[in-house]
Structure 1
Amino acid sequence: MSTPPLLEIPEILLLVAHFLPQCTLLSCTSVSKLWYQTLRPLAWQEVHLGRFASRQPFLKTVLKHKDYIKSLHISSNSFQDSSLSPQTWKTVLQLHNIQSLLIEKVSFEEEYSIYCLWDLCERVERLEWSLVFIASKSDLESRSFSHIRELHLNGDFTGFDEVHVMSQCPNLQSLVWPSGLYWGKPIDRFVQLAAKGTWPALESITKANYRTSDDQQALVLGSMRRVTGWSARVFGPKSFQVLRGHWATIKTLELSMCRSSATTAMLQEILTSCPLLEQLQWGLAHAADLVSDRPWACTRLRTLKMSVMFRHDENESLQPLLFERLSELTALEMLDLGKPPIASTWEDADDEGNNNDDTASTLANGIIPFKQSVDLRVGRGLEKLATMRSMRVLFFQDTTQQMSRNDVAWMLTHWPKLRAVNGKLNLDDDILYDLSMLLARTGVCYYK
């Protein structure tokens, strides 16, 4: 029987390096010549440059390793006086192999800096910006960002037409647009451009905050040949009908802000029709609608955010069935059963059209909890979730829980990857303190 060959030292270094942060990798390159030669390509894949960056490398050192740099992060710690020096831009323009560009808190006011920005955008496949100010559209019309496949625009205070930038990305596949939080011509023009086929490869729009009608949502969806990700503040029958044709490919659905326009029937169809779904964000859901006869198809879910509502006296009968369904989500990493973003109390939820006749009870301390929340205790169904070995984050904010040490210990035992818990574990402050200390001692971040 032959003995397998031993790994060479460079191979071992590279295997270990993939688990180390970049700052550690950079330090490791100074250990020896062998370590330097082996780790240099990996250590210099990503560079952070900025006038106020705390660990800004010397520009000469950056140029020395320019062939290895694939990801560039340009930022400042303050939006005030955040323009970069001409020497920094000259260095950046010599990075010919970058594929990803992240810019935050940077002001582009001089013509030269704006020219440099668009020049970089023409090279990269992934562009993300946040809190970026661009003084003019100078030189933008003549540009084509044909390499960009993934675009994250979180402008907030840009004062710039982000739709114009999108229109220069003919091969765009993924759009993340949390800053589109306004009505008017930019949004209307975005819908018009999509309907005209401006982005034939576009298949994912997520974190979208822009407000449109159901008709407009249907137009955008109708322009997409394949949909893998979708986010909306409005989700009505027309857009749902178009999305139906993409159940086989959809991986991300963010619909927690859709209020009453997202119906129970829609939720049931999504749960039972989307085999590749990995992330689902919903608003309020009635427990009875989650335990229907049809089995869930979305067993690949990694993130589930959903506020579950029980009517009076339903917990005993429906909760075991609900936990049984949840136990099928063996890949789940994040479970949020807390308060929905669309309602401050259950009375608000009723106003949103959820057809609940019950009245919310007020606790002695003034907290208005869910009428009847999911009871996260052993003996009430929690033990069924032992299948969720990948669970990392559990949220149940503004629900009423009565957990004991036994319940928290069960989570720590059966969810070995658990890293964060958010929600009031128990209404008794002394018990709550004891349970929070139990979590803290095992390295789990807890906040209520």
Structure 2
Amino acid sequence: MATILRTLPSRKLIGLDRAGEGQFGPMTFSCLREMYFGHLQELKIEQCVGVSSAMVQEIMMECAHLIILEAPYVFIRDIVTAPKPWSCLKLKEMTVYIAKQEDDEVGWDGLVFEQISKLRRLRSLDLQRNPRYSSKRIRPETVMDLETLDLRLPGFCNSGSSSDGGGCDIRCWSNLVQLGSFCFDGDRQVLGMKEALWMVEHWRDLTTIWGEFEAVEGNDVDKLDTLFKKKGVNL
């Protein structure tokens, strides 16, 4: 892949779609960095083998013109310890699993919530650990087993979550007013009516939610369905 990129007649490559799976190693990444980071608008490497968290973090720091990003995962640690914030403020579609490691510090979740809150043009946000269920290739098992951001509102978060660290939580995302599609792993969250109400209240353009609200039980199940139907949100 790196050889092909280096032989392209134009140095202004604006899109790279590797959605059909394949290799994406250090040589390909170095070539993109050297020749195309300043122009890239669309990058789909979510199903590629060889993509690391550090690569994804650098892409989001350096690709200021990026509009669509599909990547496998990025560690919370890499986001908060990076030398500078993301520059990809034009992002409209983002697919990436944000993975939490056991030795992450208290409050780091909040810094990631705040970082994402700056992507105010987002229309689609997919935080699932394996969004391509039909694909034969999934995340590395070591990543699949890791936890992710706790999306619960304050009062329901475990000790050590973003709210305990004095940082931000999902309420930071109230300024993502263009968000139309939101996907999350229901089995990694315990969201209820409180979170559902918050989402439809603040994300007025929301048309699709993918993920189970595990804390909704009994009569509230019908109330949840009614809420989403009334707001025109598909589950």
> Matched residue of 2:147: which SS?
coil
- Please list, as runs of the form range in 1=range in 2, the aligned pairs for 1:277-292 lying within 5 A after superposition: 277-291=66-80, 292=82
Alignment correspondent of 2:229: 440
Alignment correspondent of 1:231: 17
> Matched residue of 1:445: which SS?
coil
Alignment correspondent of 2:158: none
Equivalent pair of 2:191/2:216 in contact (CA under 8 Å): no
Equivalent pair of 1:400/1:424 in contact (CA under 8 Å): no
Residue 86 of structure 2 is aligned to residue 296 of structure 1: yes
Match of 1:372 among 147, 160, 167: 147
Alignment correspondent of 1:74: none
CA distance in 1, matches of 2:213, 2:103: 22
Equivalent pair of 2:40/2:66 in contact (CA under 8 Å): yes
Shift of 1:317: 2.2
Alignment correspondent of 2:180: 392
Alignment correspondent of 2:126: 336
Match of 2:36 among 234, 242, 246: 246
Shift of 1:343: 2.8
Alignment correspondent of 2:2: 218
Alignment correspondent of 2:202: 414
User: Structure 1, residues 38-88: CA drift from partner, whole Å, max 9, x if none?
Assistant: xxxxxxxxxxxxxxxxxxxxxxxxxxxxxxxxxxxxxxxxxxxxxxxxxxx
Letter in 1 for 2:26: P
> Matched residue of 2:94: which SS?
strand
Structure 1 segments of 4 or more deviating over 6 A? none
The structure that has the greater radius of gyration is: 1
Give me the TM-score of the superposition, normalised by structure 1.
Answer: 0.44
Shift of 1:324: 0.4
Summarize the Cα distance change of 1:417–1:315 in structure 2 as closer, same or farther, 3 Å threshold: farther
Summarize the Cα distance change of 1:393–1:325 in structure 2 as closer, same or farther, 3 Å threshold: same
- Please list, as runs of the form range in 1=range in 2, the aligned pairs for 1:16-95 lying within 5 A after superposition: none
Letter in 2 for 1:309: A
Identity of aligned residues (%): 24
Shift of 1:398: 4.8
Equivalent pair of 1:315/1:372 in contact (CA under 8 Å): no
CA distance in 1, matches of 2:117, 2:174: 7
Matched residues, number = 209
Shift of 1:316: 4.4
Equivalent pair of 1:255/1:281 in contact (CA under 8 Å): yes
CA distance in 1, matches of 2:57, 2:106: 22
Letter in 2 for 1:307: Y
CA distance in 2, matches of 1:319, 1:387: 18
Alignment correspondent of 1:268: 57
Equivalent pair of 1:426/1:432 in contact (CA under 8 Å): no
User: Structure 1, residues 13-56: CA drift from partner, whole Å, max 9, x if none?
Assistant: xxxxxxxxxxxxxxxxxxxxxxxxxxxxxxxxxxxxxxxxxxxx
Match of 2:213 among 416, 425, 443: 425
Letter in 1 for 2:6: G
CA distance in 1, matches of 2:87, 2:118: 10
Equivalent pair of 2:54/2:74 in contact (CA under 8 Å): no
- Please list, as runs of the form range in 1=range in 2, the aligned pairs for 1:318-337 lying within 5 A after superposition: 318-337=108-127
Give me the TM-score of the superposition, normalised by structure 2.
Answer: 0.81
CA distance in 2, matches of 1:320, 1:279: 24
Alignment correspondent of 1:258: 48
Letter in 2 for 1:439: F
Equivalent pair of 2:183/2:209 in contact (CA under 8 Å): yes
Letter in 2 for 1:219: T
Equivalent pair of 2:91/2:121 in contact (CA under 8 Å): yes
> Matched residue of 1:222: which SS?
helix
Shift of 1:434: 3.4
Shift of 1:242: 1.4
Alignment correspondent of 2:98: 308
| RMSD over aligned Cα atoms | 2.2
CA distance in 2, matches of 1:315, 1:418: 32
Shift of 1:439: 1.3
Equivalent pair of 1:303/1:333 in contact (CA under 8 Å): yes
